[in-house]
Structure 1
Amino acid sequence: MGWPYIGETLQMYSMDPSIFFATKQKVWRDIKTHILGCPCVMLASPEATKFVLQTHAHLFKPTYPKSKEKLIGPSAVFFHQGDYHSSLRKLIQSSLSPNPNTLQRLVPDIEALAISALESWAAAGTVINTYHEMKKFVFDVGFLAIFGRLEGTYKEKLKENYSIVDKGYNSFPTKIPGTAYHKALLARKKLGQILKQIICERKENKVLQKDLLGDLLNFQDEKGQSLTEDQISDNIIGVLFAAQDTTASVLTWILKYLHDNPDILEAVKAEQKAIYEANDKCKRPLTWAQIRDMPLTHRVTLESLRMASIISFAFREAVVDVEYKGYLIPKGWKVMPLFRNIHHNPEFFSGPQNFDPSRFEVTPKPNTFIPFGKGVHACPGNELAKLEMLILIHHLVTKFRWEVAGSQSGIQYGPFPVPRMDYQPDL
């Protein structure tokens, strides 16, 4: 269990999580430890993951530090379970799912954002910080899905204050003036005020837009109750947070893996070049049918998700004493299914350290590939994330070349994994 109170927190955050988890797993298949002031059980098998996240999900609630709840908002869907969570998750998933009224209609605008981002990097004529640039692109896509077309002043104010909240999210939670966390709290208050202004304008103008904000405004539960302005604001900020860092990290790794595997890159180029030529060298936009017919590129995104394992684990709390395979998990203990360990287990993925998209020509065994979580709390925006990845890759490989600047190996965590030095390519 490590040292009193701090447990093994320092070890976990000072080394590659894969090494930390794998070292312990060699001794104990499942792991008991103490992290962030909490006793934890870490479960590293597909069966355990299914037990916690699906078949017995009602025995485990999602849990986050209170400091993080304050910055996102207590009404955000992923802090809850039960009827409120179920109905809100269905609404968000429906709003971000691939159908003619949602994702399909966003394709031209997402494509325009991807082209603009790539051209701005190349025009800069200098080394770029990939992860930071990807965050900007993903933010703009998320903004589009939530608000549609929004007046520029609002967008800049939201982006400015969201950036401050983002910087303070993983900082030490002290309310001392001048600290990153205190600045984030102030910026979060401003975000709420700006969002309420946008909501009021929508209501006054009776604007019916096909976007997430419109769906949240029109939502009514079984009792006919609408969402409050605070509930809508919390869920908007929650969606932005859930989407930005994770998707930006995956896109960063895709660039890295394609760069490091030239044979795979050439094969992806060939697949995308055929679409490029069919569209008269980008004079016509990508179609939904073309995006759905990129088998190799799709496998590259799946293998990137497996290799990088952006979400290393889920964080749950036992709401009652739970028995699992003869062992007691006491009420109040944290439970962490280790996605990263499963994704890198040679029992399920042969040669797990090798980047091999061909492994996804066959469907993985059940509960062994969990890049977006599992069960009732699985990511409702995973289709949007896949869509922006495929669109960006298409324009990247058909029009640009890139090289690594600085270190070409190693991983840093903050908390999501990115290549050492944030991987800075020169386009």
Structure 2
Amino acid sequence: MWAMAIVTLGVGMAALGYLLFRTMEYRIVEWRKKLPPGSMGWPYIGETLQLYSHSPNSFFAAKQRRYGEVFKTHILGCPCVMIASPEAARFVLVSQAHLFKPTFPASKQRMIGPQALFFHEGAYHAKLRKLVVSSFTPDGIRGMVSDIEDLALATLNSWEGQKVNTFMEMKKFSFKVGILKIFGSREKLDMDDLNESYLTLEKGYNSMPINVPGTKYNKSMKARRHLSKIIGKVISERRERGEGDNEGPNFLGTLLAHKDEKGGRLSHEQMVDNIIGLIFASRDTTASVLTWLIKFLKSSPALLDSVTAEQESVRQQKSSLDYKLTWEDMKSMRLTTRVIQETLRVATILSFTFREAVEDVEYKGYIIPKGWKVLPLFRNIHHSPEFFPEPHKFDPSRFEVPPKPNTFLPFGNGMHSCPGSELAKLEMLVFIHHLTTKFRWDFDESKTGVQYSPFQVPQEGLPIRVERK
């Protein structure tokens, strides 16, 4: 009993000492260097609760009004500098990108895996990015149109006459598309096991990295280990079958076939981490955009009619009722593409991205200390009336002319921008084609709220009732 009390007291004192040390450290840094204005919040916790318990719009807007376009804060255990202008975003992501390495909070790094593309720079990053980009170029995905169409039709057919949670259904759909791209259409996988494991994993993405039984972080790390075993088994089986097993073009095949100039191959851990990273990058973001897209279309009857007419014109060019879409059909969906762009702008699913200063960096008279996180705020830029008049109005016509450079960044910018953007757009175009030409849907107009989990989605995931036309 006494031993337990002494241990508990010792742990408490150590934790208190650590918090006091970090607080003093930040105060010393602030005294020695000219940091941007802002608040660091509570020791260690910082302002994490303020950011993730309310609308990020309110948090970012209030900070920008008070401190300007560059300000400091402290979230997820990390001291941060947030930037909210196209000029600053370009400085961090493009022109001076070598001074800012890609990074995530410790919780995300451990859950995704330390060998994932996101967390590296230099030669390793260049090698991995080349492999990823080669898998997601238009040439790398154009052969997927038919398979994506089959997944979209299966999803929509299961909705007929049902009331469904749009966001949850879109997560399943985008997850299946991602798995298709990663493993190919011939791999037999337990999709329910994969999906459940990833659902548990993602619940801990924005948790504090406290690995104590019962916490979200602890549950997520257990799910991560299980997911790693599932993926590892597939990798081992594919290795045993050999490279010439005609699996078809897929990301795992690209990883397995890769050899560097010395004949070296990627390790098992590198492949697992990058596959989990790819699932992370492709699933919830695309699902969120599709959910908002369905809401925005239904909320604007005239726009929905115009998009439907465009999609009907594509269908009318087919010679049979049992037609298949082609890559060329996507090019004729110009209005639908603008609607997707405006959805990406208004919803801004990724409010910011993480970078880390590799040395002390001066920007506009302020010092960004080495090791601090730097967060370009895409949401603030996308919602600025200076670049997008009446920014909260949904108006796809604004994309009839290209936006000003560095003002529209839904997939980031620079060497670390999202390589899967073309696949995401393809998913959306195929899905919206069949939704608008074959089905009608309604939702409760009185529920206009927004939830954050951690991506911004309509209230309750946008429940809709779907009927065939």
Q: TM-score surpassing 0.5?
A: yes
Supply the AA of the counterpart residue of 1:152.
Answer: K
Q: How does 1:236-315 map to 2 (within 5 A)?
A: 236-280=275-319, 282-315=321-354
Shift in alpha-carbon separation, 1:292–1:60, aligned structure 2, 3 A: same
Shift in alpha-carbon separation, 1:166–1:292, aligned structure 2, 3 A: same
| 1:57 maps onto 2:97 in alignment | yes
Give distance in 2, aligned partners of 1:35 and 1:178.
Answer: 22
Query: 1:358-377 CA distances to partner (integer Å, 9 max, x unpaired)?
Result: 00000000000000011111
State the SS of the aligned residue for 2:73: strand
Q: Is the 8 A contact 1:127 1:405 kept in 2?
A: no
Gaps of 5+ in 1: none
Superposed displacement of residue 30, structure 1: 2.1
Superposed displacement of residue 154, structure 1: 4.3
Query: 1:163-186 CA distances to partner (integer Å, 9 max, x unpaired)?
Result: 332334344544333444333322
State the SS of the aligned residue for 1:169: coil
Give distance in 2, aligned partners of 1:167 and 1:11.
Answer: 18
Question: Match for residue 183 of structure 2?
Answer: 147
Q: How does 1:88-167 map to 2 (within 5 A)?
A: 88-99=128-139, 102-122=140-160, 125-167=161-203
Question: Match for residue 56 of structure 2?
Answer: 17
Give distance in 1, aligned partners of 2:312 and 2:331.
Answer: 15
Q: Is the 8 A contact 1:145 1:212 kept in 2?
A: yes
Query: 1:188-217 CA distances to partner (integer Å, 9 max, x unpaired)?
Result: 222222222212222222224311110000
Supply the AA of the counterpart residue of 2:259.
Answer: Q
Shift in alpha-carbon separation, 1:154–1:8, aligned structure 2, 3 A: closer
Query: 1:339-389 CA distances to partner (integer Å, 9 max, x unpaired)?
Result: 000000011111111100000000000000000011111001111000000
Give distance in 2, aligned partners of 1:383 and 1:358.
Answer: 21
Q: TM-score, normalised by structure 1?
A: 0.95
Q: Is the 8 A contact 1:405 1:426 kept in 2?
A: no
Which of the residues 32, 35, 38 maps onto 2:72? 32
Supply the AA of the counterpart residue of 1:61.
Answer: K
Superposed displacement of residue 282, structure 1: 4.3
| 1:202 maps onto 2:238 in alignment | yes
Question: Match for residue 340 of structure 1?
Answer: 379
Give distance in 2, aligned partners of 1:270 and 1:44.
Answer: 38
Give distance in 2, aligned partners of 1:158 and 1:14.
Answer: 29
Supply the AA of the counterpart residue of 1:133.
Answer: E
Q: Is the 8 A contact 1:154 1:194 kept in 2?
A: no
Superposed displacement of residue 334, structure 1: 1.6
Question: Match for residue 251 of structure 2?
Answer: 212
Shift in alpha-carbon separation, 1:43–1:142, aligned structure 2, 3 A: same
Q: For structure 1, which segment, 340-349 or 162-171, has the greater mean C-alpha deviation from structure 2 after superposition?
A: 162-171
State the SS of the aligned residue for 1:379: coil
Q: Is the 8 A contact 1:40 1:333 kept in 2?
A: yes
Supply the AA of the counterpart residue of 1:114.
Answer: A
Q: For structure 1, which segment, 69-78 or 300-309, has the greater mean C-alpha deviation from structure 2 after superposition?
A: 69-78
Q: For structure 1, which segment, 213-222 or 34-43, has the greater mean C-alpha deviation from structure 2 after superposition?
A: 34-43
Superposed displacement of residue 117, structure 1: 0.3
State the SS of the aligned residue for 1:128: strand
Give distance in 2, aligned partners of 1:25 and 1:386.
Answer: 31
Shift in alpha-carbon separation, 1:419–1:215, aligned structure 2, 3 A: same
Shift in alpha-carbon separation, 1:131–1:281, aligned structure 2, 3 A: farther
Give distance in 1, aligned partners of 2:181 and 2:262.
Answer: 28
Which of the residues 49, 71, 78 maps onto 2:118? 78
Q: For structure 1, which segment, 397-406 or 140-149, has the greater mean C-alpha deviation from structure 2 after superposition?
A: 397-406
Q: Is the 8 A contact 1:407 1:421 kept in 2?
A: no
Superposed displacement of residue 51, structure 1: 0.3
Q: Is the 8 A contact 2:76 2:207 kept in 1?
A: no
Give 1 or 2 for the bigger CA radius of gyration. Answer: 2
Question: Match for residue 425 of structure 1?
Answer: 464
Query: 1:105-162 CA distances to partner (integer Å, 9 max, x unpaired)?
Result: 111000000011011011xx33211100000000000011111124435444433433
| 1:317 maps onto 2:356 in alignment | yes
Q: TM-score, normalised by structure 2?
A: 0.86
Supply the AA of the counterpart residue of 1:383.
Answer: E
Q: Is the 8 A contact 1:406 1:424 kept in 2?
A: no
Give distance in 2, aligned partners of 1:3 and 1:35.
Answer: 9
Supply the AA of the counterpart residue of 1:128.
Answer: V
Shift in alpha-carbon separation, 1:41–1:182, aligned structure 2, 3 A: closer
Q: Is the 8 A contact 1:208 1:214 kept in 2?
A: no
Question: Match for residue 69 of structure 1?
Answer: 109
Supply the AA of the counterpart residue of 2:115.
Answer: S
Q: For structure 1, which segment, 106-115 or 332-341, has the greater mean C-alpha deviation from structure 2 after superposition?
A: 332-341
Which of the residues 416, 419, 430 maps onto 1:391? 430
Superposed displacement of residue 336, structure 1: 0.9
Question: Match for residue 356 of structure 1?
Answer: 395
Q: For structure 1, which segment, 289-298 or 403-412, has the greater mean C-alpha deviation from structure 2 after superposition?
A: 403-412
Which of the residues 442, 446, 451 maps onto 1:403? 442
Aligned-residue identity in percent: 56
Q: Is the 8 A contact 1:322 1:329 kept in 2?
A: yes
Give distance in 2, aligned partners of 1:248 and 1:362.
Answer: 27
Shift in alpha-carbon separation, 1:32–1:65, aligned structure 2, 3 A: closer
Query: 1:234-261 CA distances to partner (integer Å, 9 max, x unpaired)?
Result: 1111101110010000000000110111
Shift in alpha-carbon separation, 1:298–1:362, aligned structure 2, 3 A: same
Shift in alpha-carbon separation, 1:164–1:38, aligned structure 2, 3 A: closer
Give distance in 1, aligned partners of 2:187 and 2:365.
Answer: 58
Give distance in 1, aligned partners of 2:96 and 2:176.
Answer: 37
Supply the AA of the counterpart residue of 2:312.
Answer: K
